[in-house]
Amino acid sequence: MLKGVKGFFQEEHGLNLRAREILRYIGPGILVTVGFIDPGNWAANLAAGADYGYKLLWMVTLSTIMLIILQHNVAHLGIVTGRCLSEAATEYLRPLVSRTVLLSAITAAVATGMAEILGAAIALHMLFHIPLKLGALLTGIGCGWMLWANSYKRLEKWIMGFVSIIGVAFLFELSLVNIEWSEAAIGWVTPVIPDGAMLVVMSVLGAVVMPHNLFLHSEVIQSRQWNLEDDAVIKRQLKYEFADTLFSMCIGWAINSAMILVAAAVFFSNQVSVDELEQAEIMLRPLLGNAAAVVFAIALLFAGISSTVTAGMAGGSIFAGIFREPYDIKDRHSWMGVAITYGLAVVAIFFIESPFQGLVYSQMFLSIQLPWTIFLQIYLTSSTKVMGKYANTGLQQIVLWGIGLIVSGLNMMLLWDFIK
């Protein structure tokens, strides 16, 4: 009897230790998830729910699965080599090729930063009636200060807090509406493309897989590294990294799904079409009340700030990698990369006539640059010269190439639709 009790407590103690061990690795994935719930995603998800109800929820499921595979793969690069995607490109590619790809990636980070800063500025206008351009300037300065004044560990906690607020906000929104859960359950797993929905389908997918997130994950995952010489340490990190990525991406899946659910229950049921974030907030007031509109704007503000912070980190990481350096905000090349990302993004906003136009332009450039980043990643993680025995297997390469071609193809279709 005593042995049984002792064994029970030993087993429970072992489970607690394992849980605490896993929690030590949770964090990098959350930073990447922020890019998965940025203002660009809000616009695409609200349009999907408002125009097609629950029918496009399957795109959130599919895009999340694709994102998990790509982010998991690029995180392996950081864990095994101790280099981010930018550093590895500089190390293993010819200078002309690496500089071309990485300069395009910095431009993609600027385009991403522009969209994220715009989202925060729109939220500031909703909440405090601050002019859009002033809000953009304040967001850029504020997020730059956050990066400069906080350690990575502290930033990780800030971002976790912001994501929690966004999640709670959408739980509140969901509590105010009547969801057709049976239709939602079908929508999550049944691929359907209604007439005229192809642009929205491409927008939902195109807003999920973003170039800067692939660079960012390969950098921030190294915050959990201790000893690259110990094979057991590497294997343990690879195992727990997947838990972090899966957990974090599932949070992103839930929040993106909640956006579509709310839009379907509020706008689709009332036959109201939504294609701009400010329009959604205005429409929420008469339909759900002032509190719902304010909570919506607050969630958008934290989404914009969080994604602006991570876009700056990505820009700093890419720029530092060109000089074979890891991201360190106190280092000259890293903070120059952050300054370039925010500075050019804010300047671009000052020359754009409308927020919607700015979002369109940013997504257009991301559509062009994304294939370069995905295929750079696949090349590096498939190379035994780079990854050693941890290089992608034949099956992994087939899966990654398939995802890369699908995502890139849809993004190029999205670009073509914009050009037309």
CA distances from 255 to 94, 171, 232 (A): 41, 9, 35
Return the pLDDT at 409.
80
Do 38 and 115 contact (CB within 8 A), yes or no? yes
Distance in angstroms (rounded) separating the CA atoms of residues 420 and 409: 17
Distance in angstroms (rounded) separating the CA atoms of residues 273 and 50: 6
Neighbours of 377 (CB within 10 A): 25
Distance in angstroms (rounded) separating the CA atoms of residues 219 and 406: 25
Q: Kindly indicate the confidence band of residue 228, based on its pLDDT and cuts at 50, 70 and 90.
A: low
Q: Kindly indicate the confidence band of residue 153, based on its pLDDT and cuts at 50, 70 and 90.
A: confident
Model confidence pLDDT, tens digit, residues 344-353:
999 999 988 7
Model confidence pLDDT, tens digit, residues 182-224:
999 999 999 998 888 877 887 777 677 888 999 999 998 887 6
Return the pLDDT at 206.
66
CA angle 337, 338, 341 (to 5 degrees): 85
What's the whole-number mean pLDDT along residues 259-265?
93
Give the range with max mean pLDDT: 28-42, 57-71, 272-286.
Answer: 57-71
Distance in angstroms (rounded) separating the CA atoms of residues 55 and 241: 32
What's the whole-number mean pLDDT along residues 230-249?
82
**Ranges of H-type helices in 221-274:** 231-263
The residue assigned the tokens 């995952």 is 221
Give the rounded percent of residues in the chain with a pLDDT score beyond 70: 89
Q: Kindly indicate the confidence band of residue 165, based on its pLDDT and cuts at 50, 70 and 90.
A: very high
Distance in angstroms (rounded) separating the CA atoms of residues 249 and 64: 7
What are the chain's domains? Answer: 82-419 (1.20.1740.10)
Q: Is the pLDDT of residue 25 over 60?
A: yes
